[in-house]
Amino acid sequence: MPHYQAWEEFTRAAEKLYLADPTKVRVVLKYRHCDGNLCIKVTDDVACLLYRTDQAQDVKKIEKFHSQLMRLMVAKESRSAAMETD
């Protein structure tokens, strides 16, 4: 399971994974209070991408990316066109 250190690399890999097969991709957010870590995991049961942070400024980036993916998952329009416009 690759742990990404750079946010940009993680988002590119997660978008690529989602666009490859949108019906199989799952996104999980997990916060561990005892460690102060926020973790976002994107998986399709074959590949698993993980980004973990303890920085408060990263929370907004994760929240924005997570909501963008959720909008794509429920949208009926072209998924690739919507991802490129955001």
DSSP for 5-22, written as a single string: SSHHHHHHHHHHHHHH-T
Q: Tell me, what's the pLDDT at 73?
A: 83
Question: Quick check: 29 and 80 in contact, CB under 8 A?
Answer: no
pLDDT in tens, the chain (86 residues): 678 999 999 999 999 999 998 889 999 999 999 999 999 999 999 999 999 999 989 989 999 999 988 888 888 665 555 555 55
What is the CA angle 8-41-46, rounded to 5? 105
What pLDDT does residue 24 have?
92
Q: What domains does the chain contain, in order, with CATH numbers? A: 3-66 (3.30.720.10)
Give the model's pLDDT for residue 80.
54
- Tell me the pTM: 0.79
